[in-house]
Amino acid sequence: MKISFTLLFIFLSTTGFSSDCEITTKSKVYHLGPSETSQPFVFINSTCPDESNRAFMSLVTSSTGQVQASHLAESLLQQTGRKISIHPERVRIFNLAEILKRQFNLNSMMNFRQLNFLDRTPLLLSDEESMDFECSACENTGEKTIKITLRNPLEGNHSSRFLKARVMTNTKALVAHQNLRVSNQAVEVAQFKTENIETDKPELLFQDGQTLNFYRLNRPLNAGEALKFSDLTPAPLIQPGTQAQVILQNQGFTLKTVANPLKSARFGETVQLRHPKTQKMIIGKVIDYNKVEVTQ
Nearest to 238 by CA among 187, 176, 284: 284
At residue 27, what are phi and psi to the nearest 5 degrees? -70, -20
For the chain, which residues make up each domain, given as ranges? 18-94, 101-169, 171-234, 236-295
Spatial contact of 234 and 214, defined as CB atoms under 8 Å apart: yes
CATH of 236-295, one of 3.40.50.10330, 2.60.40.10, 2.30.30.760, 1.10.3720.10: 2.30.30.760
Per-residue pLDDT at 10: 38
Distances in whole angstroms, Cα of residue 207 to Cα of each of 112, 184, 217: 23, 21, 15
Mean of all residue pLDDT scores within the chain: 91
pLDDT in tens, 123-136: 999 999 999 999 99
Specify the pLDDT at position 2.
40
DSSP summary character for residue 4: H
Asked if 171-234 and 236-295 have one fold, the answer is no
pLDDT of residue 19: 57
Stretches where the chain sits below pLDDT 70 are 1-19
Which pLDDT value is given to residue 120? 87
Output the pLDDT for position 38: 82
pLDDT of residue 8: 37
Which pLDDT score is estimated for 56? Answer: 95
Which overall architecture, per CATH, does domain 171-234 show?
Alpha-Beta Complex (3.90)
